[in-house]
Amino acid sequence: MQQLTLRAAIVAVALLTGMGGSALADAKDYEFQLLDKEVKQGQAVIAVKLVHKLSGRAIPDAVIFAKRIDMGPEAMGEMTAPLEAEPSKEPGVYRFKTNLTMEGRWALSLGAKVQGESGTVESKLIVTAAP
């Protein structure tokens, strides 16, 4: 009986420390990744995946509360484009519709909350608009 209790305690510790899941993870343990680093200039859909860095697992149902796209990488941070969330059928993938009026590098800035975690996941990803 004592060994069974000890095993249960070891499993509980593993789960709470993140060895068996993402419990007690920190916002810095997550990142957005571009699915395509290049999109067509003009009307475009940019897709990103939110992943838990340690496990590589896609994270669905995050609340994205901040989003912006601008040409900061081309020294034109004041040049922005509209950015609107689109539905996605793939868990952990977040899609954004935009109109990239100029070719070049654009910075996609995102801020999100992962359910059950404290802190904010913040990312700035560089996407290139090509003719």
* 3 assigned to some structural domain: no
* Total number of domains in the chain: 1
* 105 assigned to some structural domain: yes
| CATH for 81 | 2.60.40.10
Q: Is the pLDDT of residue 115 over 50?
A: yes
Residue 24, pLDDT score: 54
pTM: 0.79
* 16 assigned to some structural domain: no
Residues 6+ apart with CB under 8 A from 70: 76, 77, 78, 79, 80, 81, 106, 107, 109
Q: Is the pLDDT of residue 9 over 90?
A: no
Looking at residue 65, its amino acid is F
* 6 assigned to some structural domain: no
Segments forming the whole domain that contains residue 68:
25-130
* 7 assigned to some structural domain: no
